[in-house]
Structure 1
Amino acid sequence: MCRKATQPIGGPMDPQLLETAGTTLVAVMATDAWQSTRDGVVALWRRMSPARADGVETSLAEARADVVLAREQGDTAAEEALALQWQGRLLQFLTAHPDAAQDLDRVLRDARAQLPASEQTVIGTMRLEARASGRGRVYQAGRDQQITER
């Protein structure tokens, strides 16, 4: 069963929130939605960990510059690496402040809603199973797949 990430995600340390948080944050960095998303994330830090808020604000600005450059150069690996870094940072934040999970989820849902449909994250589980016999072929993909046969 899959659901759009724009639906509320339950639980303070919901793995689905953690799974999409870094990706959403980085995806929004190169869009018009960035300013409000950044403000929401920084406000969370200011409320929960004020001594670190300025550092987070600076890190977000640096990450945004890196994302913009990566997109200009078509460097998806750099963007994925940044998403992983922010996923880890958000995990540390929520581990220290689990009561901030609902607010972070709200900020990220609002951000995802502003992304083009092609960049909105779908979360959930997927189970692929196939059997082939004889000369049968099976092609499975969780997302994009291109097959060229001759």
Structure 2
Amino acid sequence: MTWTSVWGTLRAGARVQGDRGSEAIQAAIVTPLLIAFLCLAIAAGRLTVSGGKADAAAEDAARAASLERTQLAAQSAAADAATRSLEDQGVHCASTDVDVDASGLSVPVGQVGYVTVTVRCTVDLSDLLLPGAPGTKTLTSSFTSVVDAFRARQDA
């Protein structure tokens, strides 16, 4: 055995000894990034699912409003339908706002009218504990439903 081969072996062994603990440092750097990515994925999923459910609530509310005969009854029916739809689908909104444009109920019989409902649902994201993320996000969804042209209407 020559001195150069022994020296190369010692040097290689010394290098391996000097790398001790590097996995712990790498884990300490990567773990918070993975947790942040996981929280972002959960937030994106929650917003996507809640957005779809807000769309369904707006559809339900617009349909309920278009079946009423007066604007006041349409507003009440839309608010009830939106709230019930969100509750049935398991969406927990910090606040819910339902705007109804029931002017289509005022058109004369024989003409087509439209009822538009806008549902705003504020989703709470503060439980994710994601730094820099907003505490809430407001989702807005609108839907327009046709009022039957030959359905009797009342002025209110």
The normalised TM-score by structure 2 is: 0.24
Higher percent of residues as helix? 1
Say which structure, 1 or 2, has more relative contact order (CA 8 Å, 6+ apart): 1
Asked which structure has the greater CA Rg, the reply is 2
The normalised TM-score by structure 1 is: 0.25
Higher percent of residues as strand? 2
